[in-house]
Amino acid sequence: EVQLVESGGGLVQPGGSLRLSCAVSGFTFSSYWMSWVRQTPGKGLEWVANIKEGGSEKNYVDSVKGRFTISRDNTKKSLYLQMNSLRVEDTAVYYCARDNSYFWLGSYYDAFDFWGQGTVVTVSS
């Protein structure tokens, strides 16, 4: 059974740091891209970042570039999100998701086929 379990959320002051973790099981972690997605009542769902199977390629949404760093440890089957210089607007539920690539009718399509349960990050003074 595929499982993704996030941890590390909590309350932090503006300007502070937090490190989220996502422990996975039930699939070959090192064979998949992985993503972080966040959700707020006001802004809805927002893709934050993703990382290639071996960690050599990373992509970020502009609003977190230079502040957040995605990483992974394939030996520990874990995904991480280091969040620095946190802002009130970073308050959200953060999900990790498996970023699967489907080959269909001659093309590749990406989709988040498994998600964790989410961890809450609150940035407030």
Query: What does the binding site for another protein look like in residue numbers (CB under 8 A)?
Result: 35, 44-47, 59-62, 95, 97, 102, 104-105, 107, 109-113, 115-118
Q: Which is nearer to another protein, 46 or 55 (CB)?
A: 46
- Residue 14 CB, nearest approach to another protein (Å): 23
Q: Which is nearer to another protein, 50 or 78 (CB)?
A: 50
Q: Which is nearer to another protein, 77 or 113 (CB)?
A: 113
Nearest in space to 119 (alpha carbons), one of 22, 48, 12, 2: 22
- Residue 120 CB, nearest approach to another protein (Å): 12
Residue pair 38/70 in contact (Cβ under 8 Å)? The answer is no
- Residue 82 CB, nearest approach to another protein (Å): 19
Strands (E) across 1-43 are located at: 3-7, 10-12, 18-25, 33-40
Nearest in space to 92 (alpha carbons), one of 118, 62, 125: 118
62: phi then psi, degrees, rounded to nearest 5 = -55, -35
Q: Which is nearer to another protein, 4 or 12 (CB)?
A: 4
What residues form DSSP beta bridges with 10? 121
- Residue 74 CB, nearest approach to another protein (Å): 23
